[in-house]
Amino acid sequence: MQVRISTDAARKVEAEALVVPVFADGKLEGAAAEADSATGGALADILASAEISGKPNEVSLIHAKDQPFHRVLLVGLGDRAKFRPGALAKYAGTAMRYLGKRNLKSMTFALPAEASADPARCASFIVEGAIAGTIDTTTYRTEPDKPIVVESIAILAESFDRDALARGIERGQIIGESVNLARIMALTPANDMTPTHLAARAKDLAAQAGLEYHMLDEDAMLKKGMGALLGVSRGSDEPATLSVMSYKGDPSSKEVLALVGKGLTFDSGGISIKPADNMHEMKYDMSGGAGVIAAMYAIGKLKPKCNVIGVVPSSENLPGHRAMKPGDVLRAMNGKTIEVINTDAEGRLILADGLCYARELGATKIIDCATLTGACVIALGHAASGTMSNDEAWVTRFLEIAADCGERYWRLPLFDDYRTQIKSDIADLKNTGGRPGGAETAGVFLENFVDKTPWIHLDIAGTAYLDGESPFQAKGPTGTPVRAFVAIAEDLALGSSSSASNGSAKVATSK
């Protein structure tokens, strides 16, 4: 899809549709006011009739046969006083899905006046959202639903800084493409997305983004003492893999951010088998790993001045004849022994060795992500990802930077009570502390494998995929946490915890 800047006046835009924002106050400004004038007050009439009130992602289409833009699509942005740049991704995604499903091939987006505070970031969100809006889930049908195939989009320059818009467009294309890469990986069924396939995808994307890549096979894991990861893998004929993608954007620095993602390509629960209902969704259990792979691809393309490694331990969890059993004791890479209480608490086991390996590779800060616990879904629903940490400054910085990236995160505690719950009678730890505080006990379990390294755990069980579609996005995988990972890497490159604009990272320049 071609993306460009349009220097035309709004009333002279040549496109199949001109997309304009409208806030809940109903005021028509800038391109919206020009389009209203060109159409004889049609936009004002729509607002006066209350057909659209400016609520987020509301739409109303006006045909303008005698105008060069042919149509005007009004898209709601909500309360003007609460505007954040991240809302523009949903604004653009809503327009892309609404117009794309109606066979339109080109559209031009107008920005609200509020975008003048950070035009680069706003343009980035427009392009990211438009690209993310193109994905649908019917790729395996012999006659798939008609795809959204938009050939070109433009952002109306008006009085905005054109160099800033151009920087934002470049970034938005990379982020949008990367988010979709993660979503497509997660959509792929487990017979086509085994640990070996996931590792091959990581290797291919690393090459495309200019990253270093290496993989540990099961023999190498055995030599490293990765008994937790190998324990999960025992029940499957598919071998486990551990992929590492490395980006060295600041060779002069010893600081290394590690992103560690759970790559469970299918989770039956093992011997503690899951109920049959909705088990097919367990192909999504590698969403954390897909997010790390896609974020590393984006970081390689964006080239921020920082060092980042992506670590993706991957296996299947199946009840084969060699599968781990409740009561078994596994030994992780750092020597910690783990009593297996429930074989369906396997994600934390493969992450344990992934976190240890990240530290061996020199990580000075760590963020892991995983579709880890149903308990987190009960606690937060599908509205936010659970966030836990051993380091107040590090998690505060992350939450500030991620506040307007298009993903939502919420802090959960790691009280000593939860540490007591996972004490084993015969080993150092047990892999579950029962139902109470299930998200938090998983967090304190993982804390045992990072030592003193500043670390954040993201439980994305409720946000990695959604059961229903929205105006701006198809149902299924969301690409969480690609956007947050890129934002924190960019902020580290800027070298300041106070570098956020409206609580979010600015668009960083390349090194």
Active site residues: 274, 348
Alpha-carbon span 92 to 87, nearest angstrom = 9
Q: How many residues does the chain have?
A: 511
- The CA distance from 256 to 358, in Å, is 10
Listed in sequence order, the residues at least 6 apart from 170 whose beta carbon sits closer than 8 Å to its beta carbon are: none
Q: Please tell me the distance from the alpha carbon of residue 309 to that of residue 83, in angstroms, as a whole number.
A: 34
Tokens representing residue 344 in the block: 């369906």
Task: With CA atoms as reference, report the closest residue to 270 among 235, 225, 305.
Answer: 235
Place of tokens 């974020």: 295
How far is Cα of residue 337 from the mean position of the Cα atoms in its chain?
A: 32
Distance CA 243, CA 394 (A): 25
Q: What is the 3-state secondary structure (H, E, C) of 141-203?
A: CCCCCCCCCCCEEEEECCCCCHHHHHHHHHHHHHHHHHHHHHHHHHHCCCCCCCHHHHHHHHH
Tokens 């996931």 belong to 198
Give residue 337's identity as a one-letter amino acid code.
Answer: T
Spell out the alpha helix ranges (H) of 190-303: 195-209, 218-224, 227-233, 287-302
Can you read off the two tokens belonging to residue 71?
Answer: 């149509």
What SS3 state is found at 212?
strand
The half-sphere exposure of 140 on its side-chain side, counting CA atoms within 13 A, is 6
Enumerate residues 6+ apart whose C-beta is below 8 A from 452. Answer: none
Q: What amino acid is encoded at 87 in this protein? A: A
Helix (H/G/I), strand (E/B), else coil: 386: strand
Q: How far apart are CA 36 and CA 34, in angstroms?
A: 5
* Residues with Cβ within 8 Å of residue 88, at least 6 apart in sequence: 111, 115, 122, 125, 126, 129
